[in-house]
Structures are given as C-alpha cells and as structure tokens.
Amino acid sequence: MNARSTTKAAFEPHLTIKTRMSLWFTLVLAVICALLLVATATAYGAYGRQVTRAELVDAVQAEADAIEQERGYEERLSAGGMADAEFVDGDVQLMVYGEGGKRYGGLFLHDALDDVSFSPSDAPQEIELDGGTYYYLDKRVRIRHGDDYWVRGIVRAEASVWDMLARSGFLAALIPVLLLVAFFGGRILAGRFLQPVREIDRAAREIRESGDLTRRVPVSGAGDELSALAHDMNEMLGTLQRNFEAERTFASSASHELRTPVAVILAQCEYAEDNASDEGELRESIAAVRKQGEKMSGIIESLLMLTRIEQGTDRYTCEELDLSALVHGVCEDFSRMEGSVHLERDIADGVRVKANRELMELALNNLLRNAERYGGDGVAIRVALATSDGVASISVADDGPGIASDKAQRIWDLFYRADTSRSSKGFGLGLPLVRKIAEFHRGSATAETSEGIGSTFTVALPLA
C-alpha cells in the first residue's frame, strides 16, 4: 500500500457526515417529541382530573339541592318511583342512601361501594373499583322530619395519555414511522447541504493530483459559511501560487546574480594561475576576486535579512525610539560619506515610533543610496519627516531622471533594476528590503515617480 492510499484510509470516516447529521437530526427530533409528549400528557392529565372532579361536585350538589328543594322529590325517592336515567348527570352516576346505608335510588353498578363509609369531605376521593380508577363524593342532605339522606356520586377517572398510547396500536406504529421519515428526510437535506463540500473536496483532490495552483474551487455564491470556506480556500491557493512563483523567481534570479561573480572569480583565479608573471598582476587578480566576493557576500547578507524579516524571527526586537533623531543621524552620516550630494532636510521634531533601530537605519540608508546611485551626477536629495492622522512618514525625493511607468511597478521585485546601465552599482535588493522592513513594522512603502522629473519614496509607520 502506497503512502497516498494509506493516508486516504487513515482519514476514511466510519460514518459519513451525512449519516451522522441524519442520526443527530433524528435523535434531536425524537427528544423534542418525547419532551412535548411528556408536557402534553402532564398538562392534559392535570386538566382532565380537574374537569372530572368539578363535574362530580356539580352533579352531587345538584342532586342534593333537588332532594332539599323540589316538592314531592323526597316522596318519589322514598317510594322508589324514579327512573335510572334521573340518576345520571353526564358521566356521573348518582346514588342515594339512607342514614343507615339503605339504598333509596340510583345506579348501583358497584356493590363494593356499599361497604365504603360515607365521607364528610367536600373534596372527591379516589378509589379502585373492578380494575379501574374512580372518583367519588358524598354529601349529606338533612331532612326536617325523618332520617337524613346521603347522595353519593361516582365517575371514572380520565385515562392518561400514556394509557391511551399503550392501548392504541396505531400510535405505537406511527412513532417509528415518523422517526424513519425524519431520518431519511434528514439524509436528503444533509445531502443537499453537503453538496458544496463534495464539490470543494473534488476540486481540492484534482488540484493536489495535478499540482496546478492556478485552478480554483467552485464558489456557490449562496453567501453562507460554505461559500466563505470556498472563498478562503481560493485565497489560500492564490497565496500559495504567488509564493511558489516568487520562490521560482527568487531561485532563478539568485542563481543568475551569483553566476556572474562566481564566473569572474573563477576566471581571475585561472588567469592568475596561468598568466600572472609578477606581483602586480597577481595583486590585480586578487583585488578582482575580492570585489566579486564582497558582491556575493552583500547579496547573501541581504537575502538572509529578507528571510529573517519574512519569518518574523526574534532577532529584530522593537522598542520605542525617537525617529526624528534617527533620521537626523542617518542624514549626517550620509552627508559626510557623500560630500558631493546636495542633501536637504525637513525633519519634524519629537516623532516617536515603535520600531527596530537597525532595520530603520538600513531602510533609510537604502533609500538614500538608491537616490544617489540612480539620480545621476549632481543629484539633489530631499529628506522629510512628518506626521498625520497617527502615521509618521519618511520621504526621500530626488530630481533624477525618474522611472518609466512600465518599469515603476517592478521596482519592488527582487533583483530588479530599472536602469541596467548602472547595474554594477547595486544588487536589486535595496527597495525590496525597504518594503519588507516597512511591512515588518505594520507600515507601508510607496513610490511616486515621473520619467524626466524624479522620484519620491515614502515609508509610513504608525506612531507610538
């Protein structure tokens, strides 16, 4: 088994996301249904009991009032001349007893009730009769002449929802069917929701297998999280593409730049070995080798610095520093070294930023050297430092020949030199270093140039 198949098998899920989403959907729905059922059963049971008890109380009270108030009711009751229908009030069955328990009238369907003592309570009592649950209520009816009566009402307790479900085969079969419908319905919905994920996965595999970083994953345009994921993946692929292209360009340019000094060194060594006839010629060869070695050393040191800045290593720590004093100092040193250059300064006082002193001195020196190198003989350079809206701006302007518009966008590229006639004076790394240093300090580096007028390079940094 190769490495690719091993990796694929390691990430092969036991249950697909689609199945897991369907199971979770079904489980959540089942829990919600169960909670609703419990809540409904509890509320229905409490309400049913309350209604049943109220009906029982009303029926017993009505019968007691009839005995007390209706003329001739007591005589008909004593004579046993009342029909059974007169002792039914809705679901309530009524019975009338004498003081000693003698039956006078009513529906006596449960003989066991005769053995139950009369209760003076005004609240219905619960009793089990013939395997069922009932409520009963007793009420004494006082008679002026003769023994008192007891009116007893009885009603079957409402069956609970659980009892109805247990006795209902239809509902018992319906619940599993509903869960199955929920599961397969959830699978269909999950499949539709995950379709963009499958498309992204397929595109990512094709990009991986082909190695073509110019391809992109499809974006649905729905504006949801999956669209954002696809957009971010395309941004990542674009970044990788640019980085790989920059790496190829870097490798090609570096090898090209180093090839020339290496060839010169080898040629000088060969010449000195075969043709140097005296000490003077040997010294000239050594000087040429040294010059090319220093050029290679400068290129390598600049490349290492670029790499360290891009990697964000701890070598370059930032602290709050007086940028005004730093710019003054760098300009003074440059003026002493390049006395023929006319340097003007317009530097605001008290400008402070959080930066690395070594990198900021290097960036300003690179801008000054760039202006002196490409500005031509007798170039005038103007250095300005100003603040605006929480930003400190260092600008270096020259009145040199400027840069053509078709070349201006490339001046920040590694090893690019707009004026090839002056290529021996630089490596094409100064301006890229300036931009990297500015970005390292959360700032920016920009250029304004017009051919025949001059150039202005600006580094902007946030104030401390």
User: Which strand (E) or helix (H) includes residue 149?
Assistant: strand 149-156
Owner of token pair 């600008």? 395
Tell me, what's the pLDDT at 211? 80
Predicted local confidence at residue 28, as pLDDT: 79
pLDDT at 322 > cutoff 90: yes
Please state, in angstroms and rounded to a whole number, the distance separating the CA atoms of residues 409 and 406. 7
Contacts of 65 (CB under 8 A, 6+ apart): none
- With a cut of 60, say whether residue 170 has pLDDT above it: no
Confidence band for 7, pLDDT divided at 50, 70 and 90: very low
pLDDT (0 to 100) of residue 254: 67
For the stretch 116-139, pLDDT in tens is: 888 888 899 999 888 788 999 999
Domain covering 52-159: architecture = 2-Layer Sandwich (3.30)
Write down the pLDDT at residue 462. 95
Q: For the chain, what percent of residues have pLDDT higher than 70?
A: 84
pLDDT band at 45 (very low <50, low <70, confident <90, very high): confident
Residue 3 pLDDT exceeds 50: no
Long-range contacts of 173-178 (CB under 8 A, 24+ apart): 175/33, 178/33
Residue 9 has pLDDT above 50, yes or no: no
pLDDT of residue 99: 78
Least confidently predicted of 36-50, 132-146, 344-358: 36-50
Residue 449 CB neighbour total at 10 angstroms: 21
Question: What per-residue confidence (pLDDT) applies to 312?
Answer: 62
More reliable by pLDDT, 431 or 14 = 431
What is the pLDDT at residue 161?
A: 58
Nearest-angstrom CA–CA distance, 350 and 321: 10
Q: Which fold has domain 226-311?
A: Helix Hairpins (1.10.287)
Highest mean pLDDT among 58-72, 164-178, 417-431: 58-72
Q: pLDDT-derived band of residue 164, with 50, 70 and 90 as boundaries?
A: low
- Whether pLDDT at 103 is above 80: yes
Q: What is the mean pLDDT of the chain?
A: 80
Radius of gyration of the chain from Cα atoms? 50
What is the average pLDDT across 24-46? 76
- The values of phi and psi at residue 30, to 5°, are -65, -40
Q: What confidence score (pLDDT) does residue 295 get? A: 74
Distance CA 430, CA 18 (A): 55
Q: How, if at all, do strands 342-347 and 380-388 pair?
A: parallel
Please give the single-letter amino acid code of residue 445: A
* 243 against 105, higher pLDDT: 105
Q: % helix / strand / coil in the chain, to the nearest 5? A: 55, 20, 25
What is the residue-wise DSSP string for 434-453? HHHHHHHTT-EEEEEEETTT
The CATH code of domain 319-462 reads 3.30.565.10
